Amino acid sequence: MRPTLTVGTYNIESFTWRPGTGHHFGPALHHIARCTPTPPDVFALSEARYAGFDGQRPMWEFTNALSDMLPTGETYRPFWAPSPGRANPPLLLLNTAKVDVLRWWAPGEGGVRKWGFAETRPAGTSETTWISAIHWQGGLGRAEFEREAARLASHSQHSTLIAGDFNATSSWNGEVSLDWPRMTRERGEKHKLLQKARWSRLAGRWVLDTEQIDLLREVFDFWDFGERAGDPTVTTGEHGSGLRIDRIMASAPFPFTELLSYQVFREDELRTRRTISDHDYVHAEVQLGDQP
């Protein structure tokens, strides 16, 4: 029987921090357990802003609590990637029973291309796979997105798995679109225009920017799990701004034989969004082995 690997990404707002009262993991852990009783082998938490508070206590408490949800004898190992100028560094959790960790490059170590990547060997595979949790910070604008997309593109030649909040969508014809320039104008949020839009000289107007995700998909052959599953479900929905920006992607050499499942968990949306995040939990399972 071929081995499988489960992957998830969840942008838990501010890593469940509540000003003046500290961390409250309960609702987030309950929601994860309700959606996936066994949490994913690879888990990307995009906004782990306060993971390092008080000697990284929140990070370890959350990691240990999730580890308790794994089968007996399995545990997570956390990899946090804070870097100067970034408000929301991502946290990557790897189930060491399913993923053998060989090396980890924290931001500032080695070349920038490697920052935030773990070099691993998933169980049942012979080749190494580079894994990273992603958070493209919308407030830094499209130039930052282009830099990050180029950095990820440099990993396209080897097995790579990336997941997280890209704050960007694609031009896949199944994708849900919206008029982001009009919406920011109507909401009095012109300062957010560059988060998801660009000026098109050809069209002579502002358009939804899909160039960075399309670069990975169309030029560097990364495959998007939602697109592969034919599921365009948006992963955000605050104030009608729903787009599929929380993604799981893999490079062409990633050793899979089949995408077994893909799901965006949106049930009990109102309660979840009020207490945890304005993003949805995305989960997938792949069968590993020789590529088809």
Q: Please list the residue range(s) of the chain that carry CATH number 3.60.10.10.
A: 4-175+216-288
pLDDT of 292 higher than 90? no
Q: What is the pLDDT of residues 242-268, one digit of tens each?
A: 899 999 999 999 999 999 999 999 755
Q: From CA 48, how far away is CA 28, in angstroms rounded? A: 13
* Predicted local distance difference test score (pLDDT) of residue 263: 97
Tokens representing 291? 């590529």
Say if CB 287 and CB 124 are below 8 A apart: no
Among 3-7, 34-38, 240-244, 253-257, the minimum mean pLDDT is found in 240-244
Tell me the pLDDT tens digit for each residue of 72-84: 999 999 999 998 8
The pLDDT assigned to 269 comes to: 54
Question: Which of 40-44, 57-61, 182-186 is the least confident region?
Answer: 182-186
Residue 239 above 60 pLDDT? no
124-181 residue pLDDT tens: 999 999 999 999 988 787 888 999 999 999 999 999 999 999 999 999 999 988 888 8
pTM of the predicted protein model: 0.94
Query: What does the pLDDT average to over 1-18?
Result: 89
Write out the two tokens for 125. 């595979």
Distance between CA atoms of residues 250 and 267, nearest Å: 27
pLDDT digit string, tens, across residues 186-203 = 888 888 888 888 888 888
Residue 238, pLDDT score = 57
Using pLDDT thresholds of 50, 70 and 90, give the confidence band for residue 291.
low
Structure tokens at 196: 């998801």
Residue 149's pLDDT is 96
Higher pLDDT, 6 or 179: 6
Is the four-CA dihedral 108, 109, 114, 120 of positive or negative sign?
negative
The pLDDT value given to residue 275: 65
- Say if strands 42-45 and 4-10 run parallel, antiparallel, or are unpaired: parallel
CATH superfamily of 4-175+216-288: Endonuclease/exonuclease/phosphatase (3.60.10.10)
